Amino acid sequence: MPLMLSVLASSSSANCIFVASDTTAILVDAGLSLRRLEERLAALGQGVERLQGICLSHEHSDHISGVPVLCRRHGLPVYANSGTIEGARRAWKDFEPVWRVFETGRPFAIGDLSIEPFAVPHDAYDPVGFVIGAGGARVGIATDMGMPTTLIRERLRGCHGLVVESNHDERMLRDSERPWALKQRILGRQGHLSNRHAAEMVADIAGPCLRCVVLAHVSSECNDPGVAIGEMRVSLEARGRRDVQIAVAAEDGAAVWRFTGETTEAVAAG
């Protein structure tokens, strides 16, 4: 049973990830408009009607802004912890979806997908990453975090595919014209992960089954895809891992990866 992964959007304005087995399909976050979501799913040969739920990592607008329209039109349940629910309610005010409350650190299931939420440091109410599995394959998702904690490393270790934040090049960020307070927030322990820290973390946890790393939330102003990929590649190759595919998640979606527990094979397409 292949596990399908596609980053439909990854930027400071919209984030959305599609994960599916043969029988179950979900979104991790939904910062896209319904029209754009439908277009990007159609490009994968998928439809909104396949979706069985939305899992929220945290309540920032670039991760939840598409939820109200999507849920009103299609009645999807929304999976989140109590902290994220509190933050989302403050943002939406006049909208209340069908909530499915999970506890950070306690696995749950949607169809045949096993989902393990784990805590990440970010400036939100109770932000999480996810490890999602089916048929022996596992993908880890951690797209907004200020630092790679021991817990994050342990949860992501053993995954076949990773979607991890590689937000900025530290020099480019410091040299940018962004306000100093914003730079401090991004560089802080609850901000966003740099290329260097992302590369060090992935190289440290790269087990024999890891086949693909997708770099997410790559800043268009304070980063460069080639720089981000290059730093990740150097770090992995220093550990003897020249076989791992490395890609940058496009802002408008594109690639698809499929994993199986037996072969741990990842194929990029689209």
When pLDDT is cut at 50, 70 and 90, the band that residue 224 belongs to is very high
Burial of 163 (0-12, 13-18, 19+ CB in 10 A): buried
Q: Is residue 222 part of a domain?
A: yes
- What pLDDT does residue 253 have? 52
Residue 228, both tokens: 């981000």
Q: Is residue 265 part of a domain?
A: no
Per-residue pLDDT tens over the stretch 133-145: 998 999 999 999 9
When pLDDT is cut at 50, 70 and 90, the band that residue 11 belongs to is confident
Q: Is residue 30 part of a domain?
A: yes
CB neighbour list of residue 41: distance below 8 Å, 6 or more residues apart: 8, 18, 47, 48, 50
Q: Is residue 11 part of a domain?
A: yes
Residue 26: alpha-carbon gap to chain centroid: 13
Q: Is residue 42 part of a domain?
A: yes
Beta-carbon count within 10 A of 181 CB: 8
| Residue in the structure block whose two tokens are 């800043």 | 219
State pTM to two decimals. Answer: 0.93
- What pLDDT does residue 257 have? 78
- The answer, yes or no, to whether residue 242 has pLDDT greater than 70, is yes
Per-residue pLDDT tens over the stretch 143-195: 999 999 999 999 999 999 999 999 999 999 999 999 999 999 889 889 899 99
- What percent of the chain stands above pLDDT 70? 94
Instruction: In whole angstroms, give the CA distance from residue 214 to residue 142.
Output: 11
**Cβ(65)–Cβ(14) under 8 Å?**
yes
Q: Is residue 178 part of a domain?
A: yes
When pLDDT is cut at 50, 70 and 90, the band that residue 262 belongs to is low
Q: Is residue 97 part of a domain?
A: yes
Q: How many domains does the chain have?
A: 1
The CATH number covering residue 63 comes to 3.60.15.10
Dihedrals phi, psi of 202, to nearest 5 degrees? -65, -40
CB neighbour list of residue 40: distance below 8 Å, 6 or more residues apart: 8, 9, 16, 32, 252, 253
When pLDDT is cut at 50, 70 and 90, the band that residue 254 belongs to is low
- What pLDDT does residue 2 have? 81
- Structural domain boundaries enclosing 52: 3-259
Per-residue pLDDT tens over the stretch 113-133: 999 999 999 999 999 999 999
CB neighbour list of residue 48: distance below 8 Å, 6 or more residues apart: 34, 37, 38, 41, 70, 73, 74
Q: Is residue 264 part of a domain?
A: no
Average pLDDT over residues 230-258: 85
